Chain A
Amino acid sequence: MIEVEGISKRFGAVRAVDCVSFTAKDGRITGLLGPNGAGKSTCLRILSTVLKADAGRARIGGIDLDEAPLAARRLIGVLPHSSGLYQQLTGRENIEYYGRLHGLAEDVLARRVDALVERLELGAIANRKAKGFSQGERTKIALARALVHEPQHLLLDEPTNGLDVIATRHLREWLRELRAQGRCVLLSSHVMQEVEALVDELVIIAAGRVTLHGSPAELALRFPGRSLEEIFVEAVQRGERSAA
């Protein structure tokens, strides 16, 4: 479970994240939704411990990020905004590198990588250098890399970005599978259509603040007669007006 309580982050005069609170439960997919520059990436970066919040607290699997960032990192798998693969390494080597840095023993690592290659259908690219990969292939390898240590929590920054229809569909399937395994999946997006069929919980943020949250069903009840898209757009506009 990921618990976020009133975290804030400033970059100079810019308030990137302003007192954001939400909870992402195990066995559920939580969507962090907002326009570009709303603070989604900053939130995820704080949760992946590469940034430190100025105020507030965040816990992953009960571990406070401020107190034990190294322990918290063991519990998360991160799919960053850009895949950040090493061009000169093969798909498999990219995955293995992260597995080793997570401290996996060589025999365990070999088994895990084999399983991931099979499940994510990486056979064709596993032994090719990452140099010529398509966006979809990069995302696949980066996802496998984030899953190699079988983390309970998964942080995905705009995972569907640049993927074609088929690849997006595959990604959704895998995320549902991870949910079925009881994992806590937190993903960000700026397009409602891409996630409305996928997420169990929506956290809409605009101008660094949470303006609306709830499950799609709850939101539909609260705003009868409107599509999720309309609810999203109104929530964003409301948030941006109050910030200005």
Chain B
Amino acid sequence: MRAVFTVCRKEIVDTLRDRRTLISLLLGPLFGPILFTALINLMVSRNLTSAEEVLEVPILRAERAPNLVAQLRARSIEPLEKHGIDGVDEAARLVATGVHDVILVIDEHFDEDFGTERAARVALVFDRSKTRAGSRVSRVRGAVEAYAQQIGLLRLLASGTDPGLLRPLVVDELDVSTPASRSALMLGVLTYFLLFATLTGGLHLAIDTTAGERERKSLEPLLALPVPRVSLLVGKMTATVCYMLASLALTLVAFAIALRQLPLEQIGMSSSFDAGTAALAFVLLAPFAPLGAALMTTVASFSKTYREAQTYGTFVLLVPTLPLAFATMLNIEPTAKLMWIPSLSQHLLITTLIKDQPLVPPFVALSALSSLALGVLFGWLAVRLYRREAILG
């Protein structure tokens, strides 16, 4: 037991003194929250502009449809003065080259057709592949269609017909999502950042204490000491777990601070990611660390050099993303069976936590148990690998 402690302490001190490793360890936890903050800020600012901003749209032959233009103006869509466009082809060219996002072209016979049974025509020129312009196009389209519908209703009324005849079916939408559950998808990405930060926190140590030690030739005299291999390996993996947990804690703190700064309410989300939630998230994710440490140590045991182990280790970083990808695509609900799958179980529990739904204690226990059990299994495998002579290379 004392040997485990000695090995663990030595590995922790050894890594702490390596400035490069320490910097990457500190930057890792910041990467997720920064990216996350930038993404949400972008989303928020885009949503705000499309809803309130005055939209200037070039309207060709605006003089032929003054009422329509007035209607557009009432919806903050201003016709652009002096656009100098003289035809549909010219308009198409300007949209294709990105000069304008959307151009409204009033038909030459609009004013003649408007009063008659023939439909008056307007053309909306836009580029569907430009997703950025999507909200502007639908704003203009919406405004034009609303105008058309209004005129239609007025005409029916004028002819003495009940406009209700045209609406045999009405769809009433009842959206039961709460602000918290709407934010879940976005914050679900958070689980991945957290698991990623946990793993990267231990990556260097898992490799350095095994493949690195072998490469530097310090493994051979170490194995000639009267210490069982299991004590050596448990000590090394414990040190790796310590760094993983430190990285996880740092990331959670960074997220808690970042999410407080974000205007989440403005995009209809509410986030209750306070200190208590962060602490609970730490408890839920912590059992994943021993599994990650054991898995990485096992993988690193196969490799001869630090570099080689780093390549394999990077693949290990991707492993927890697989269940997450499925979960996000299929919109899976937590069940007892799924709690047996590490990383997925943590994802589901964190999502529950963020949705402000109650955590089911047996689920929490099952998730921790399965991760720890798999961790022990991989740890045992690593010890087995260290009993082979081939470990010396």
Q: Which A residues have a C-beta under 8 Å from some C-beta of B?
A: 45, 48-52, 70-71, 73-74, 76, 78-89, 93, 97-98, 100-103, 129, 142, 145-146
Contacts and interface: CB of A to CB of B under 8 A. Distances in A.
Contact of A85 (B218, B224, B389): B218
Contacts of B225: 73, 98, 101-102
A91 to B, nearest CB: 14
A82 to B, nearest CB: 4
Interface in B2-31: 2-3, 6-7, 10, 13-15, 17-18
Given A73-B225, A81-B217, 7 more contacts: A70-B228, A79-B221, A80-B221, A89-B14, A98-B221, A100-B6, A142-B221
Contacts of B392: 45, 50-51
Contact of B220 (A70, A84, A87, A97): A84
Interface of B: 2-3, 6-7, 10, 13-15, 17-18, 216-228, 389, 392
A50 B389 contact: yes
A79 B18 CA distance: 26
Given A73-B226, A89-B14, A101 B220 contact: no
Given A51-B389, A100-B2, A101-B7, A78 B216 contact: no
A1 B37 CA distance: 69
A50 B13 contact: no
15 contacts: A45-B392, A50-B223, A52-B389, A73-B226, A84-B217, A85-B218, A86-B10, A86-B218, A88-B14, A88-B15, A88-B17, A98-B225, A101-B222, A101-B225, A102-B225
Contact of B224 (A48, A52, A81): A48
B220 to A, nearest CB: 5
B310 to A, nearest CB: 18
B219 A84 contact: yes
A78 B359 CA distance: 55
Contacts of A71: 226
A38 B221 CA distance: 21
B217 to A, nearest CB: 4
Contacts of B224: 48-50, 73, 76, 78, 80
Ranked 4 nearest A-B pairs via Cβ: A84-B218, A82-B217, A73-B226, A88-B17
A45 B220 contact: yes
A80 B220 contact: yes
B218 to A, nearest CB: 3
B301 to A, nearest CB: 15
A101 B2 CA distance: 8
B374 to A, nearest CB: 29
B226 A70 contact: yes
Contacts of A101: 3, 6-7, 222, 225-227
A52 to B, nearest CB: 7
B338 to A, nearest CB: 43
A89 B226 contact: no
Nearest to B19: A88
Task: Find the residue from B6, B217, B221 having the highest chain A CB count within 10 A.
Answer: B221
A81 B219 CA distance: 12
A86 B226 contact: no
Contacts of B223: 50
B227 A86 contact: no
A98 B13 CA distance: 15
Contact of A89 (B7, B13, B228, B389): B13
B226 A103 contact: yes
A229 B225 CA distance: 36
A41 B329 CA distance: 57
B6 A88 contact: no
Contacts of B389: 50-52
Contacts of A87: 216
Contacts of A98: 221, 225
A129 B218 CA distance: 16
A123 to B, nearest CB: 22
A83 B3 CA distance: 21
Task: Find the residue from B17, B18, B223, B225 having the highest chain A CB count within 10 A.
Answer: B225
A73 B389 CA distance: 16
